[in-house]
Chain A
Amino acid sequence: MAGNNNRSIGAVNKKGQKIVEPEYLFFEAPRQEFFMTGSEIVKEAIRRASVDISVAYPITPQSEAAALVGELWTEGYVGDYFRGENEFAVMSQCAGASFGGARVFTTTSGPGTLRAFENFPMWSGARLPILINVMVRGVNSPLNIQPDTLEMAFLLDTGMLIWHAETAQELFDMLLKGFIVAEQPDVHLPIAVCIDGFFVSHTKEMVSLTGTDICLPHYDPYRSPVPCMDMEAPPMRMMRDPFVMKSNYISYATHASWQQEVRGAVERARKYSVRYLGGMIEEENSDADILIVSSGTAVAQGREAVRLLAEEGIKVGIVRIKSIRPFPTEELRQATKNARLIFVPEFNVSGWMAREIKSTIDRNHRVIAGPHVAGGMTMPPEIIAEEIKKVMHLRKKELVHG
């Protein structure tokens, strides 16, 4: 490519980082331990991600991370960076950069996600492999800045890939792996790596990071299944994305088949997600009668509840969903097949994750949607343990009377 240095594996970039195989960076490269916040982790992941362009906009809780990426630009690790005027514009600026063949990273939260919303299905439809780190936050009204996963429910049908990290460690790994999965030629879709605002973004915890001396290979826009808009590749009469506004059968068929293809691409991401995330779900004692199934830090709270209940002799297993799109349908059916009760703790008011699970597994009366907390309220493990005991007791009574 014109004007660029050697971008092949083994080459060294202008910051002295050696470009390595993604698999090496993910699974083999030596790592060192640090104690950091989630925001700092974003900076460290992007430092190693060969990102061309990042666009930022302030909104709590993602502002710190977005500002730190700006520092990376100043340090020379990111090609270009600026503050957009609002999230709708920011996501469009990301789209423009991606259309032009750049690897693009951005972040947003809650109301920002909603303001930007029209862009997300457009990104998918235009097959732009942008990585967005969504640091979830309650959406208005009333105004709220605290963690709440409701906005993820809105993202489910945008055609984007959606992953949900539980910890800062997983955030680091998912940010790097996300680019590689999203950019596969047979996938080539945007990806939302979600974390729970504050609970991960502002929490300081132990993480293990690869060295700063290695980085991911660059994005190659010419491996894209759709042409890059740089006027480099004939044929010349090429529009992204050619909608058909005529009212005839061809126009309906065009839109429908294109949209089906986007869903097909989401499905094709499955094999990469399994490979890179080490499976779409994580299981712990999933042979137990009682399971806690959820994603994000709701699972972290569940793990503590498992400890509390173990002290009382109640055995509870955990199934954690890492990839929400594509959804681990078969994995969940298998992991829950012996469970009698399935609890789905969630940080939102609607219980969308419970809905997803109920629509996936059989005998879905086993699914108990809850406990829920919303608006940033914390979910003490004691509450989850209490809920489990209450339902156990109730179902026992039902059995007696039934």
Chain B
Amino acid sequence: MRKRINIRISGLGGQGAVTSAHVLATAVYKEGRHAISNPFFGAEKRMAPAESYVRISDQKIYDRGEIVYPDIIMLYHPQVYTMGKCYTMPFYSGLKKGGLVIINTDHPLLNEEDIQRLEELEARLLYIDATQIAVDIAGTELASNMAMVGALVGATKIVAMDSLDKALQDRFGKKYVASGGTATLDEAIKKKFAKKEQLLAKNLQTIQKGYEISSAWVETFKTPMLV
């Protein structure tokens, strides 16, 4: 694994890009390693571009802010690509060689030109229908960020599932104060589940499904992942 993994998550407001970045970073922290996560967004707005970033390393991390040179890019919504709801154009701008791209979509999304560019960068590309997984397992598309985190961890094994579980407990298991929009969505998702334990369990199952799919996908390659 690289000395530093930079993950750029491009999503839309309300999809939980920020929440999942914090969960991922917390999981790394739970393993006694170094992580830093931060969001970047404009005016708080549903469906507007919202990015968040996670930096993971075994040494102390100083760098913060937007990630310009990512190792891994995740798109949480097809519109990030189709409608350019992204802070960087093209979305893979700055992607380091041998990187990983995971896109939440129910059909192959990228055009020939972009696929070719990614190939030149020796990047691996995974399409995963995270929204469908979230609806099937958790009964709400609000959990699609969890499926994406699962897919990332399945492909990279960057953090143990057990640590993710602990991070989820931290985020949803106790009182958490978030900004207005996030707090409203927290309430919405809590209403979906009778009990907190149920919410945690469904989130974890959604993560697991994403994990299984991408783990199987990684097996299909003859060479190991570069990130």
Give A residues with C-beta under 8 Å from B: 35, 37, 40, 43, 60, 63-64, 67-68, 71, 145-147, 198-200, 202-206, 297, 300-301, 303-304, 376-382
Given A35-B25, A204-B25, A304-B62, decide whether A380 and B39 contact each other with a Cβ distance below 8 A.
Answer: no
- A203 with B38: CB separation less than 8 A: yes
Which residues on the A side are within 8 Å of B22 (C-beta)? 37, 204
- B179 with A63: CB separation less than 8 A: yes
Q: Give the segment of B63-71, B140-148, B214-222 that binds chain A.
A: B63-71
- A204 with B38: CB separation less than 8 A: yes
Smallest CB separation, B198 vs chain A (Å): 25
Q: CA separation between A379 and B68, bound complex, in Å?
A: 9
Smallest CB separation, A14 vs chain B (Å): 21
Q: Which 6 residue pairs of A and B lie closest in terms of their CB atoms, listed nearest first? A: A378-B65, A203-B38, A378-B66, A300-B62, A303-B62, A35-B29
Given A35-B29, A147-B65, decide whether A202 and B38 contact each other with a Cβ distance below 8 A.
Answer: yes
Which of B30, B36, B67, B180 is A204 in contact with, Cβ under 8 Å?
B36
Name B39's closest neighbour in chain A (CB-CB). A202
Interface residues of B in 49-99 (CB under 8 A from A): 62-69
Which residues on the B side are within 8 Å of A202 (C-beta)? 38-39
- A199 with B69: CB separation less than 8 A: no
Smallest CB separation, A131 vs chain B (Å): 21
- A64 with B177: CB separation less than 8 A: yes
| Cβ-based interface call for B40 (8 A) | yes
**Max chain B CB contacts within 10 Å: which of A200, A206, A301?**
A206
| Cβ-based interface call for B15 (8 A) | no
25 A-B pairs (CB sep. < 8 Å): A35-B25, A35-B26, A35-B29, A35-B170, A37-B22, A60-B44, A63-B180, A64-B179, A67-B177, A145-B42, A198-B38, A199-B64, A203-B36, A204-B26, A204-B35, A204-B37, A300-B63, A301-B64, A303-B62, A304-B63, A377-B66, A379-B65, A380-B68, A380-B69, A382-B69
Smallest CB separation, A348 vs chain B (Å): 14
Smallest CB separation, B70 vs chain A (Å): 11
Smallest CB separation, A308 vs chain B (Å): 10
Name B22's closest neighbour in chain A (CB-CB). A204
Which residues on the B side are within 8 Å of A200 (C-beta)? 64
Interface residues of B in 1-54 (CB under 8 A from A): 22, 25-26, 29-30, 34-40, 42-44
Which residues on the B side are within 8 Å of A37 (C-beta)? 22
A-B contact count (CB 8 A): 71
Give B residues with C-beta under 8 Å from A: 22, 25-26, 29-30, 34-40, 42-44, 62-69, 170, 177-180
- A198 with B40: CB separation less than 8 A: yes
Q: CA separation between A300 and B61, bound complex, in Å?
A: 9
- B29 with A206: CB separation less than 8 A: yes
Smallest CB separation, A216 vs chain B (Å): 23
- B63 with A301: CB separation less than 8 A: yes
Given A68-B177, A204-B26, decide whether A146 and B64 contact each other with a Cβ distance below 8 A.
Answer: no
Given A63-B179, A204-B26, decide whether A381 and B63 contact each other with a Cβ distance below 8 A.
Answer: yes
- B29 with A297: CB separation less than 8 A: no
Q: CA separation between A202 and B37, bound complex, in Å?
A: 8
Name A347's closest neighbour in chain B (CB-CB). B65
Q: CA separation between A67 and B62, bound complex, in Å?
A: 27
Which residues on the A side are within 8 Å of B30 (C-beta)? 35
Smallest CB separation, B90 vs chain A (Å): 18
Which residues on the B side are within 8 Å of A63 (C-beta)? 179-180
Which residues on the B side are within 8 Å of A301 (C-beta)? 62-65
Smallest CB separation, B61 vs chain A (Å): 8
Smallest CB separation, A60 vs chain B (Å): 8
Name B177's closest neighbour in chain A (CB-CB). A68
Smallest CB separation, B55 vs chain A (Å): 10
**Max chain B CB contacts within 10 Å: which of A35, A37, A64, A297?**
A35
Name B34's closest neighbour in chain A (CB-CB). A206
Q: CA separation between A37 and B176, bound complex, in Å?
A: 12
- A145 with B63: CB separation less than 8 A: no
Q: CA separation between A378 and B51, bound complex, in Å?
A: 13
- B37 with A203: CB separation less than 8 A: yes
- A199 with B62: CB separation less than 8 A: no
Which residues on the A side are within 8 Å of B179 (C-beta)? 63-64
- B39 with A205: CB separation less than 8 A: no
Q: CA separation between A50 and B93, bound complex, in Å?
A: 48
Which residues on the A side are within 8 Å of B68 (C-beta)? 378, 380, 382
Smallest CB separation, A373 vs chain B (Å): 9
Q: CA separation between A381 and B67, bound complex, in Å?
A: 10
Which residues on the A side are within 8 Å of B43 (C-beta)? 60, 145
Smallest CB separation, B172 vs chain A (Å): 15
Which residues on the B side are within 8 Å of A40 (C-beta)? 177
Which residues on the B side are within 8 Å of A205 (C-beta)? 36
Q: CA separation between A380 and B69, bound complex, in Å?
A: 8
Q: CA separation between A347 and B220, bound complex, in Å?
A: 45
Smallest CB separation, A180 vs chain B (Å): 27
Q: CA separation between A40 and B26, bound complex, in Å?
A: 14
Smallest CB separation, A69 vs chain B (Å): 11
Which residues on the A side are within 8 Å of B62 (C-beta)? 300-301, 303-304
Which residues on the B side are within 8 Å of A297 (C-beta)? 64-65
Taking A64-B177, A200-B64 as known contacts, 14 extra A-B pairs with beta carbons closer than 8 A to each other, sorted by chain A number, are A35-B30, A60-B43, A60-B44, A63-B179, A64-B179, A71-B177, A198-B39, A204-B25, A204-B35, A204-B36, A206-B29, A297-B65, A378-B65, A380-B69
Which residues on the A side are within 8 Å of B67 (C-beta)? 378
Q: CA separation between A382 and B69, bound complex, in Å?
A: 9
Q: CA separation between A377 and B68, bound complex, in Å?
A: 10
Which residues on the B side are within 8 Å of A304 (C-beta)? 62-63
- A199 with B29: CB separation less than 8 A: no
